[in-house]
Structure 1
Amino acid sequence: MRSAAVFLALLLCLQWTWAQGESGEVTGTDAETEGGNRQEEVQFEIQGVGAAHDQSSSQTNISPDIWAELKELRDMAIEQKVELRNSKSKIEKLEQENAATQARLTASESKNAVLEARMSSYEDMVKTLQRENKVLGATVTASNNKVEELRRDNTVLESRVNTSENLVAELRRENMVLETRMSSSENEVAELKRENADRPKVAFSAGLTDAGPVGPFNTEITLKFSKVFTNIGQAYSPTTGIFTAPVRGVYYFRFTVWGGRPSAWMGAYLYHNEKRMTLSYDYNDEQAYVSASNALILQLEKGDVVYMTLYPGSGVFDDSFNRTIFSGFLLFAL
């Protein structure tokens, strides 16, 4: 009975020691010192129990194996205490590592928040740049289209400029030819002017009369065109009706005769010196009017004469309307 009480006391001491180790009030060297003291106390108590057991062994019937079990329990308790101390050290190290990890995690979270903010800012910047890039792309596309259009226009303009330059070069060549020809023409004109300055100017035009009818006569008479309109060079004589060539040359003559007598002949000759050159006449068979015209180009020597005569038995008519006219002029001298 007494042995059982001692065993219970021993178990209570072990339980109190474990409780003290779990309470965490002592750590490190103090825990080891206190553990050593407790171990000595336990050993002392066990020795006391052993001594008591030796004293009362004669009075009890407890098996000797209980001491081996108690020793084993003691070793197990010591081993558990050592493991407990090691576990507490590991726990403290893990707690320190966990605190450091938590601090690093907090710092990482702070950095991550900063990075997220910067990333959000970067994303906004990227979106803005993308929008600006789209606008710039559209602008660049429009600019490229404008550049292509300007290139096409420039090609057309270059073609037109080349054509214009070729045309200008051709015009310059033609202008040079024209200038040469003009210079030659100017020289010819100057020569002609000099020639014309020395060449006589001859031209005349005259009407027959304002008295009305002239003729008929039985013989030819020279028609005296007395109404002088032009007489440059004074080669025509209204008194005689004769044109006298002042120079050797080619002359142009033209005349018109008009008749108003019914049932009568109307006509006239043109003479070069004594030679009849042409006869123009007509017959007025009723009370109508008739006329005749003719023209010649004659080569005359200086002093040659040209005049007109009335056709025998015919008559002509003239009045203020100048119906009967004789004209001539020098084409060029020979």
Structure 2
Amino acid sequence: MLRICVYIFFVFVVFGVQGLLHPGGTGPTIEERFEALEKELRGNITTLQQQMFASETLALRQILTLERTFRKELELEMEELQANFSAQEMLLVQERQLRLDLEREMNKTLQNISNVLQISKSRIDNVVAEQEAKGKLLGVSMTNTSIFRSAIQQQVNQISASLSNTQNHLKTLNASIQSASTSSRTGDGTVVAFTAYASSSKDYNTEKIVFNSVITNYGGAYNSGTGIFTSPTDGVYAFTWTHLTHYGRYCHSYLTKDGTRLNLDAHSNLQGLSSTVYTMATMTGTLHLSKGDEVWIQTQHCEGFLGSPYNSFSGWKL
């Protein structure tokens, strides 16, 4: 607008000067010049207005483009901020949940520790009470030591007497074997007699004792691999056996005929006594056997069975 005013003023000045210089000229009149000038001025104003409108329109378009770009960038930043906020919020929720879980686990662990401590205290109290009771029992046991020693001595005396009787019995059996040698023959004149022992110490439980080491086996009726005597002929037979048991143990054995238990048992027992005394058991009996009958020594339960030369199994035909 300032340019237009300056331009109009410049035109008036120019035309005024020309009128003064040429007052009586033959050129266009002042009115014509003014009309021409006004027309030119209007054209220039229109051109200027168009140029200004175009410039303002372009500027406005650029402003609108910048605004759209700014809005788009702002929306992107807002979306990114919202996404970051959501992620942070999710992390906070997860962290809060983890803390709650940790608190629950810690409370549970503390409760378990408390329970274990209570159980341990109860067990310690029980152990203390048990030790006190054992102490009282130990006092009673020490008081009764002399009684146990007396009982052990009695067992020793009984064993000594049993050994002596066994030795005498063996002597009698040997004499009987020698005196009956003429009558202990089969129909073809073969002597039937055997003596064997078990060479190994072991524990038995309802099983056969295999006296595997043979001293004599006249007539071959005894099987050292199975521990079984098989009668070669009908007749009356005598059998005897002995076994020695480790101290503090017991052994129970009996004579068996064809799998049937006979009432001939040998039983040694010092179970539970703390001493160095061994016990020996022996038994002798006679049976009427038919040809093919089988006889062996069976155990009901036998702990601490001692091997050679502390056991034997003998038999002969009368």
* TM-score w.r.t. length of structure 2: 0.39
TM-score of the two chains, using structure 1 as the length reference: 0.37
